[in-house]
Each structure stands twice: as C-alpha cells, then as structure tokens.
C-alpha cells in the first residue's frame, strides 16, 4: 500500500468520521506514517476524547484487506483487477445502455451511513438528478427520517442534537445514548451534576438507564400511548402553556379531544407501565416546565407507527412551551451556503420516484425514495424496472431488512457498482467494485446545527489507486455528458469554495479553525417574529398535509401488531439493533482487537424464558420469523435486564444476520420505515 501523507512529520488537525458525532481530532504522523490520534484541544467542552472506534481509524486505513484497485466480476463469479480508466469507461457504457433501453429512471444511486448528512451524500443526489432519474436510495429509509418527519410535520424544524446542557429535564426516549452517542451522553451527565433530571424510556435496561432518575419500561411499540397520556395529564391539570398554544398552534381542540381516552388506566393497560410510574413521570414533567429536552431514538422510529409517536412527542413539546427556547427544542438557523443537491431545481416528481406513491412524505420532505420498495422494482415487480445502481458507503446485504430478498434483488440488476473500502457482502454481489477513500482521504464541510457551526476536515493522506468520493461522481458525470454543467469543479477544494462563497466564510479561515466557526449565534424565541416553517406557519397538532394523503391528521396511536394479533406460532418479541460500543452496523467487525472483545453476535434473553425452553447460556439457538431464520448464541442476562417474552439480537453480523428474519413489508404508514423492533418470532433449540 503506497501512502502519501500531507506532511511527513507532525500533526494535522481535522475531524473524526468513524461515527456520526464528528469529534475534533489531531492526526499524528511520523516519517509519513499515521501513528496516532488525539483529541483536538480547542473547544474541549464540545468534544469527546478520541474513543476506541475513532482510534481504530488507523487499523482501517492500513487494513490489509483494503481495496486498492477497481475490480470487475468475471463470468465465473470471481473478481479481477482492472484499471480505473477501463472500469469507468465500461460502467459509463452500461449506464448509457440502461438509459437507452429502459429510460433514465431505471438507474439509481444508493448511499450508506458512512458518508451521510451533507456534502458526500449530496454528490450522489446531484449526480442522479442531473442524469435524469429521481431514484436516490439510502440507509436513511431506516434511519433518522422517521424522527425528522415527525418533527417537521409538527414544528417545521428539527435539531438533531438538543441543548441538554441547558435543560432542567432530559427525556431519552428509545435511545441508548451512552452507547450510540457517547459525546451527547457526556453532556447529559454534566447537566445531571448541575441538577437536571433524567428520564429514560426503554423496555430494556442498558448503559443509559443506569443514570436515570426514572426508568420507564413500556412494552415495545406502545410509546405513543405513553406520550398521549402525558399530553392528557398536562391538559387536564391546566399545566400546559396556554398562551403558546393559543397564539402559535393549530388543531389543539381536536388534539385535546383525542387525548381524553389516554387515561392512566388505558395507558397502563397498553404499555404495561404502572399508573404510579406514569404519574411520577407526569409530575416530573410538570415540575420542570418549560426547559425540557427530549431525544427520541430509533427505538421509536423502528416501530410500525414511529412517526406518529414522534409527532405526539412533538405535540407534547408544544404543550410544555418548550419550543425554540434555551434548553428545549431548539430551532437551528441555516448558514446560507450553496446546495449541491438539485432536488429544488430538478424535482423529477413526475418521473415517479420509487415509493413516492406509497410514502409521499419521504419524497416531499426528504427527496428520498423508499429503499425497501426499490427491491420490488429491481425484481421486476414495480411500475418500471430498476436496472442499475451505483452504491457507495453502504452494506445493505447485511443491514437492510429481509436479507434474502435484498440479495436476490441486487443480484438481478444489470449493473451494480459498489464503492467501498472493503469487499463486503454487498460488494461481492457487484459487477464492479471501486476502492473508496476513507474520511482521512478527503476534505469536506461539516455542519453542526446545534452550535450553528461549520467545520472543515483535512485531507490527511492519499492512497495510491484510491480516489475520493467527489472523483467518483465527477468522472462518471463527465463520461455521461453532464459533467461540464453539473460537476465543473476539478476537485473537492473547488467544490468547498463554491459551497461557501455566499456565506462570507473562507476556506482559509476554516483551515485555521478546524474546531469550527460559528456562522450565526444561536437565538431563541424567533417564533415571536416569524412563522414556524410548517405549511400553516403554526405548530400543527393536526396535519392538513397528511389528511390530504388519506393519513390520520391526528398523530394517532396504533397498538403494535403483536398486541393486535398475537400469534402463538411466534410467541417471542424480537428487538434488533442494540448498538455495540465497538461496532458500527456492519463496520469494524474486521478489526482483530474488536473481534477478540466481541467475537460473535449474542441474543439477550430473560432467564425465565431460557429455563422454560431449556436453553443454556452460550448455546446456539435458531430464531425464526415467517420469512426466515437466523442462528445465534444465547446470552442469558439478569432477569431485570430484558422483560420476559422479549429478546434482543444486534444487527451487522455476517454469521448471525438478524435481517434474515426482519420484514421489509411491515412499514410505518408515513415514513415507510421497516419494523425492526417488536418482531414476532419463535425460538428453537438446535438438535
Ligand atoms: N457504537 C455505535 N454507535 C452508533 C451506531 C452503531 O452501530 N454503533 N449506529 C449509529 C446510528 S446510524 C444510529 S441511527 C444511532 C441510533 O442510536 P439510538 O437512537 O440511541 O438507538 P440505540 O442505541 O439502538 O437505542 C435504541 C433503544 O431503544 C430501545 N427500544 C427498542 N424498542 C423500543 C420501544 O418500542 N420503545 C422504546 N421506548 N424503546 C425501545 C432499545 O432497547 C434500545 O435501548 O446510533 C448511532 N451510533
Ligand atoms: N435489524 C436492524 N437493521 C438495521 C438497523 C437496526 O437497528 N436493526 N439499523 C439501521 C440503521 S439506523 C442504519 S443507519 C443502517 C446502516 O446501514 P449501512 O449504511 O449499510 O451501514 P454500514 O454497515 O455502516 O455500511 C457502511 C459501509 O461503508 C463503508 N465505508 C466506511 N467508510 C467509508 C467511506 O468513507 N467511504 C465509502 N465509500 N465507504 C465507506 C464500510 O466499509 C461499510 O461497508 O443499518 C440499518 N439496519
Ligand atoms: S465518538 Fe469516537 S468514533 Fe465518533 S467521531 Fe468521536 S472519536 Fe470518532
Ligand atoms: Mo442509523
């Protein structure tokens, strides 16, 4: 592996992108070799010391399995190395063929978590719209869009990172923050030290519940009832912010009528949470108004009715008068940068984006197609065929629900190109595999909405044979004839200058301040002088938009399917995807020291259940749903940790791939998210 570091000896200040938090980081280089990482000293209160995942960036960068050349699949299924020129020429030719045969919309792009949020993701968006297809697919069909939609439909804005440090009460709702976002958890703990209270709502005990003042353990998928119960309590006790509701909200009458039914008795019956706990929760909310910060996690979004549950929480926030205030639900302001994505300029709505007929909000609000529906289009069961995909930074053969169908669908494409650091399970299905650059090999802009801050990461090194994300889209676009118009910049530095130009912040200033520059000081109570960015300009307890789509205008509560239709054949309820501190979905499983610490996937189960089924600790068992089975090692945990009747299996494991049993076709009606928590399964001993 031939590596050229930006300097031979010394330190480069940049950002870590081993996870979505993007901590400031110093990269130490000795004789042209990356030897270590340490935390950036500037603004230490905002940043976490470099964690174990971050430090593993070195092992990944120099990993012996890294792809260093494009690969082409041979007829016998094996791969051969080819030149970059040949790979791009052939890929472009095949794309043109698909466009000619089936039309532009038969091509799509797919991005994964590793490059999500802004610039790198927007290259893919720009590319596919410039090509003439609306089909942008991503991991976000199962990540954060549910939350985003829930808040956007009610408030019109969302801040991905609440101001925990100023809150009096923090509610972590379906989120194991201590593991998933350790830097945010540090803020929570700091706030607790200054007197803030913490409520954690999670059926399972974990690192985060350990720190809670009150732990609430609802049956999975019943959170909506709990949220409605809290709203009812505030309304009945006249403890809600009447002035805010009267002046700045619509639909309160209808909402409060719907709240009537969520008596403590009804909520207890649905959630299994005792009335006393519900009352304690309600009292803690009332006592801490209005500085209340709620962080809803994927424990809600991965439910069948997650968006409505988040909408109810968003309504609760309005009742609390917690919107756009310090320590509440803060409303971030934009920087005014140029947008790479062409969605506003070239909408392509008329081209029938995949899934927009089923889940219109996903396209209307996020310009995303529905990734699960795309599988049907690949398999020839859509309105038109999807024939080619350029995929980058994603591993759906492990991470998407219903793996068997995903593999079938991807294998049936005429063209699958995968851009990745490694020959992953998904890359093995591809016709062409391209070697991807890691975050250390690119320079990109990062936005932190909470601080209204922008930062620039530094290109630390170049690896011979590997090209950055921008080159991928640039070089393809130029071969396809729209490069001059849409990808005119020669490199990422030119792109960065173009994005920043209207903001008055220079690239040079950002280079001097790798910790970031605040582009606008945070302001509160903006709503007193401007409309909320919803359709009506007010906070929407009921949604006319959803009503027009024949969806419930009220954020209705629907009990989870295992309560609606219990099935004796599948008597256990499976959660999937509890985060492991060392792994990131399917990533980092190839780091030997991590594998030593966590060698196999384990299914957590309650000792009573294990006893009843005669299952021993560490025994291999089979877990089945209607569509598949997965073999996994049983881990019998403390009886308090997981409720009887429930089991938990992490995702991201090749040998015990839990997505073999998850369904792609049980979806949230608004976001289309798959049900990944609360799946009815059966557990069998292996003879
Ligand atoms: N180390 C590591 N960190 C990560 C990731 C990773 O893979 N590894 N992934 C990143 C990504 S992309 C994401 S989206 C985030 C997700 O981060 P979070 O949103 O914080 O999600 P989790 O940490 O999985 O915690 C979800 C919690 O919801 C609980 N839960 C399950 N069902 C229900 C329910 O019905 N109701 C309630 N109230 N709770 C429920 C689960 O028990 C679990 O503790 O993590 C990010 N951080
Ligand atoms: N059952 C179940 N399934 C789930 C979840 C769950 O809770 N339960 N969680 C879901 C969620 S929230 C998410 S976000 C998805 C994540 O799904 P994916 O986006 O598919 O996530 P990763 O496994 O992180 O895959 C990222 C790929 O990017 C590659 N990569 C790393 N860095 C770079 C880079 O800089 N450039 C490029 N081009 N590639 C890079 C890695 O090698 C890896 O193969 O999984 C979802 N799947
Ligand atoms: S939390 Fe760890 S992996 Fe994530 S950005 Fe910070 S140092 Fe990197
Ligand atoms: Mo995610």
Neighbours of ion ligand 4 (CB under 5 A): 143
Question: For residue 151, which of 302, 341, 317 has the smallest C-alpha distance?
Answer: 317
- Ligand 2 site-directed mutation target among 176, 395, 468, most atoms within 8 Å of CB: 395
Residue 43: per-residue pLDDT: 62
Q: By percentage, how much of the chain surpasses pLDDT 70? A: 99
Our answer on whether the CB atom of 584 is closer than 6 Å to any ligand 2 atom is yes
DSSP string covering 76-140: TS-EEE--HHHHHHHHHHHHHHHHHHH-GGGEEEEE-GGG-SSHHHHHHHHHHHHHT---EEEGG
- Nearest-atom number in ligand 3 for the CA of 22 is 5
Mean local confidence (pLDDT), 200-229: 96
Our answer on whether the CB atom of 176 is closer than 6 Å to any ligand 2 atom is no
Does the pLDDT of residue 44 top 60, yes or no?
no
Our answer on whether the CB atom of 114 is closer than 6 Å to any ligand 2 atom is yes
Distance (angstroms) between ligand 2 centre and the Cα of 319 equals: 36
DSSP string covering 487-503: ---SSHHHHHHHHHGGG
Tokens 């970059």 correspond to 84
Ligand in nearest proximity to the CA of 419: 2
Mean local confidence (pLDDT), 255-277: 97
Q: Which protein residue has the closest C-alpha to ligand 3 atom 8?
A: 54
Residue 49: per-residue pLDDT: 80
Our answer on whether the CB atom of 259 is closer than 6 Å to any ligand 1 atom is no
Residue 207 sits at φ, ψ, to 5 deg, of -60, -30
Q: Where are the alpha helices (DSSP H) in 553-668?
A: 561-564, 592-597, 607-613
Tokens 């053969």 correspond to 397
Mean local confidence (pLDDT), 43-66: 86
Confidence of residue 46 (pLDDT cuts 50, 70, 90): low
Does the pLDDT of residue 42 top 80, yes or no?
no
% helix, strand, coil for the chain, step of 5: 35, 20, 45
Our answer on whether the CB atom of 215 is closer than 6 Å to any ligand 1 atom is no
CA 442 to chain centre: 22
d(CA 554, CA 312): 9
Mean per-residue pLDDT of the chain: 96
Mean local confidence (pLDDT), 300-321: 97
β-pair type (197-201, 169-173): parallel
Mean local confidence (pLDDT), 612-618: 97
Does the pLDDT of residue 557 top 80, yes or no?
yes
Our answer on whether the CB atom of 576 is closer than 6 Å to any ligand 2 atom is yes
Distance (angstroms) between ligand 1 centre and the Cα of 117 equals: 18
Residue 463, helix vs strand vs coil: strand
Residue 117: per-residue pLDDT: 81
Least confident of 244-258, 334-348, 395-409, 546-560: 334-348
Is the Cβ–Cβ distance between 274 and 226 less than 8 Å?
no
For residue 467, what are the β-bridge partners?
436
- Ligand 1 site-directed mutation target among 116, 200, 202, most atoms within 8 Å of CB: 202
Q: How far is CA 67 from CA 33, 73, 244, in A?
A: 19, 14, 56
Please give the residue that has the higher pLDDT: either 44 or 129.
129
Confidence of residue 347 (pLDDT cuts 50, 70, 90): confident
- Tell me how far apart the 2 most distant CA atoms of the chain are, in Å: 72
Least confident of 57-61, 93-97, 115-119, 290-294: 115-119
Residue 266: per-residue pLDDT: 97
Ligand in nearest proximity to the CA of 587: 2
Please give the residue that has the higher pLDDT: either 48 or 559.
559
Distance (angstroms) between ligand 4 centre and the Cα of 137 equals: 14
Does the pLDDT of residue 658 top 70, yes or no?
yes
Confidence of residue 45 (pLDDT cuts 50, 70, 90): low
Mean local confidence (pLDDT), 142-161: 96
Our answer on whether the CB atom of 399 is closer than 6 Å to any ligand 2 atom is yes
Mean local confidence (pLDDT), 135-146: 96
Mean local confidence (pLDDT), 34-62: 86
Confidence of residue 344 (pLDDT cuts 50, 70, 90): confident
Between the two ends of the chain, the Cα-to-Cα distance in Å is: 47
Mean local confidence (pLDDT), 324-332: 97
- Nearest-atom number in ligand 2 for the CA of 585 is 23
Residue 98: per-residue pLDDT: 98
Our answer on whether the CB atom of 40 is closer than 6 Å to any ligand 3 atom is no
Q: How far is CA 91 from CA 80, 84, 96, 305, 480, in A?
A: 15, 10, 9, 40, 10
In this structure, what token pair is assigned to residue 348? 């392509």
Our answer on whether the CB atom of 601 is closer than 6 Å to any ligand 2 atom is no
Confidence of residue 48 (pLDDT cuts 50, 70, 90): low
Our answer on whether the CB atom of 583 is closer than 6 Å to any ligand 1 atom is yes
Angle among Cα 504, 509, 510 to the nearest 5 degrees reads 100
Is the Cβ–Cβ distance between 155 and 322 less than 8 Å?
no
Question: pLDDT digits over 572-597, tens only?
Answer: 999 999 999 999 999 999 999 999 99
Q: By percentage, how much of the chain surpasses pLDDT 90? A: 96
Confidence of residue 609 (pLDDT cuts 50, 70, 90): very high
Looking at residue 18, what DSSP letter applies?
S
Q: What is the pTM of this model?
A: 0.97
Mean local confidence (pLDDT), 434-445: 97
Mean local confidence (pLDDT), 122-136: 98
Distance (angstroms) between ligand 4 centre and the Cα of 166 equals: 26
Ligand in nearest proximity to the CA of 67: 2
d(CA 254, CA 251): 6
């Amino acid at each position: 592996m031939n590596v050229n570091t930006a300097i031979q000896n010394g330190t480069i200040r940049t950002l870590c992108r081993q996870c979505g938090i993007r901590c400031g980081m110093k990269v130490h280089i000795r004789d042209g070799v990356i030897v270590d990482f340490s935390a950036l000293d500037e603004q230490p209160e905002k940043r976490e010391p470099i964690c174990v995942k971050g430090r593993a960036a070195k092992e990944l960068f120099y990993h012996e399995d890294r792809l260093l050349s494009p690969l082409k699949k041979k007829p016998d299924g094996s791969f051969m190395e080819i030149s970059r020129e040949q790979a791009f020429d052939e890929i472009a030719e095949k794309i043109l063929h698909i466009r000619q045969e089936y039309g532009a919309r038969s091509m799509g792009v797919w991005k994964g978590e590793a490059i999500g949020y802004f610039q790198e993701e927007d290259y893919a968006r720009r590319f596919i719209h410039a090509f003439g297809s609306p089909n942008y697919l991503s991991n976000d069909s199962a990540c954060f869009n549910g939350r985003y939609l829930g808040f956007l439909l009610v408030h019109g804005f969302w801040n991905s990172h609440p101001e925990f440090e100023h809150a009096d009460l923090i509610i972590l709702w379906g989120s194991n923050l201590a593991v998933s976002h350790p830097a945010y958890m540090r803020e929570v703990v700091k706030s607790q030290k200054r007197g803030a209270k913490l409520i954690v709502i999670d059926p399972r005990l974990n690192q985060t519940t350990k720190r809670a003042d009150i732990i609430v353990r609802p049956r999975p998928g019943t959170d909506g009832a709990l949220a409605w119960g809290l709203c009812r309590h505030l309304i009945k006790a006249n403890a809600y912010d009447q002035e805010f509701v009267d002046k700045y909200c619509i639909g309160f009458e209808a909402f409060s009528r719907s709240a009537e039914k969520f008596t403590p008795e009804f909520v207890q019956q649905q959630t299994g949470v005792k009335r006393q706990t519900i009352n304690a929760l309600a009292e803690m909310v009332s006592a801490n108004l209005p500085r209340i910060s709620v962080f809803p996690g994927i424990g809600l979004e991965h439910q069948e009715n997650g968006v409505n549950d988040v909408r109810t929480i968003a309504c609760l926030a309005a009742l609390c008068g917690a919107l756009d205030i310090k320590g509440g639900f803060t409303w971030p302001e934009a920087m005014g940068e140029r947008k790479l994505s062409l969605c506003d300029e070239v909408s392509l709505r008329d081209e029938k984006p995949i899934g927009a007929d089923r889940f219109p909000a996903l396209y209307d609000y996020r310009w995303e197609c529905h990734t699960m529906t795309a599988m049907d289009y690949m398999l020839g069961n859509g309105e038109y065929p999807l024939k080619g995909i350029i995929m980058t930074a994603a591993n759906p053969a492990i991470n998407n629900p219903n793996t068997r169908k995903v593999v079938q669908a991807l294998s049936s494409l005429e063209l699958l190109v995968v851009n990745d650091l490694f020959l992953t399970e998904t890359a093995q299905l591809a016709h062409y595999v391209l070697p991807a650059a890691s975050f250390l090999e690119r320079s990109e802009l990062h936005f932190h909405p909470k601080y209204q801050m922008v930062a620039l990461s530094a290109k630390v090194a170049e690896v011979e044979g590997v090209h950055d994300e921008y080159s991928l889209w640039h070089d393809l676009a130029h071969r396809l004839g729209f490069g001059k118009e849409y990808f005119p910049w020669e490199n990422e530095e030119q792109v960065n200058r173009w994005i920043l130009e209207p903001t008055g912040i220079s690239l040079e200033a950002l280079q001097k301040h790798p910790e970031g520059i605040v582009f606008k000081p945070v302001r509160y109570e903006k709503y007193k002088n401007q409309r909320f960015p919803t359709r009506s300009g007010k906070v929407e307890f009921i949604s006319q938009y959803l009503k027009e789509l024949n969806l419930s205008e009220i954020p209705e509560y629907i009990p989870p399917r295992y309560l609606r239709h219990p099935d004796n054949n599948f008597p256990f309820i499976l959660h999937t995807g509890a985060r492991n501190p060392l792994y990131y979905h399917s990533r980092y499983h190839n780091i030997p020291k991590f594998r030593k610490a966590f060698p196999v996937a384990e299914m957590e189960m309650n000792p009573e259940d294990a006893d009843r089924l005669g299952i021993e600790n560490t025994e291999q068992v089979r877990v089945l749903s209607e569509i598949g089975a997965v073999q996994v090692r049983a881990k019998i945990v403390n009886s308090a940790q997981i409720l009887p009747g429930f089991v938990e299996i992490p995702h991201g494991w090749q040998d015990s791939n839990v997505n073999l049993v998850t369904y792609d076709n049980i979806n949230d009606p608004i976001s289309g998210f798959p049900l990944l928590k609360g799946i009815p399964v059966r557990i069998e001993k292996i003879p």
